[in-house]
Amino acid sequence: MKSKGQLLSDTLAEAKAENRAALIAYLPAGFPTVDGGIEAIKAVFDGGADIVEVGLPHSDPVLDGPVIQTADDIALRGGVRIADVMRTVREAHAATGKPVLVMTYWNPIDRYGIERFAEELAAAGGAGCILPDLPVQESATWREHADKHGLATVFVVAPSSRDERLATITAAGSGFVYAASLMGVTGTRESVGEQAADLVRRTRATADLPVCVGLGVSNAEQAKEVASFADGVIVGSAFVKRMLDAEDEAAGLAAVRELAGELAEGVRRVS
């Protein structure tokens, strides 16, 4: 049976074969509720997302801006637990057959137990983990367990990363490389720009892994811009904001489905 890490790689390869970037959506588990979060993921897949990152809510999310922090607070106040994150992955993947990753800071995995986390994530049908704050040089134990269970390990690179550092990161990672398009925290921005294109070019020079760009993409026009130079377009805050702004859960689901459709069109537009 094909591992879910391989499913992730195949999904990115299929998008490339269609001459387009993949659309990767991010939503936190437990937001607005555990059940509501699962429905939201199904809605973005339904709208046209190829891959979803499930955020593991954290009380000190250093990479995340105010929109995602607000959603994380709601989830944490609702009592979300790692078991709920696993359930979210399980149900979202089972309903769609599509790749579902977990994006998490390292501390919750370390406290939960590295082997236990990897084993449970694989059993839930997870494709892997995005680990924004785990230094590559400290990642050997995680990668050993991830490899054993067929999980991808996605590291984050930033415009400040030197070429030598990029080579170290891409050599250790699998699935894809998450390129943070600019310095700072997540959030929607007016422009994603040249810094991101340069980072993708430099990262690609070090490895064959797909390079997907996140931080700042919020509409179809920006998705089209990023899709012109990246293998995947990652959108988080814009989805979360649609959910936060909706008057009720049904409206929120309709809003994220619609946004996914607009973004999916954006990544398919050829300039």
Other beta carbons less than 10 A from residue 76's beta carbon: 16
- 245 part of the active site: no
Q: What are the residues whose beta carbons fall under 8 Å from the beta carbon of 54, sequence distance 6 or more?
A: 27, 28, 29, 37, 41, 85, 88, 89, 92, 100, 101, 102, 103
Catalytic residue chosen out of the listed positions 64, 91, 225, 231:
64
Assess contact for 18 and 230: CB atoms under 8 A. Answer: no
Structure tokens of 36?
């509501």
Structure tokens of 217?
């993409």
- 164 part of the active site: no
- The strand pairing partners of 102, in sequence order, are 54, 129
Whole-angstrom Cα distance, residue 12 to residue 216? 21
Catalytic residue chosen out of the listed positions 39, 53, 72, 84:
53
Structure tokens of 39?
């429905």
User: What are the catalytic residues?
Assistant: 53, 64
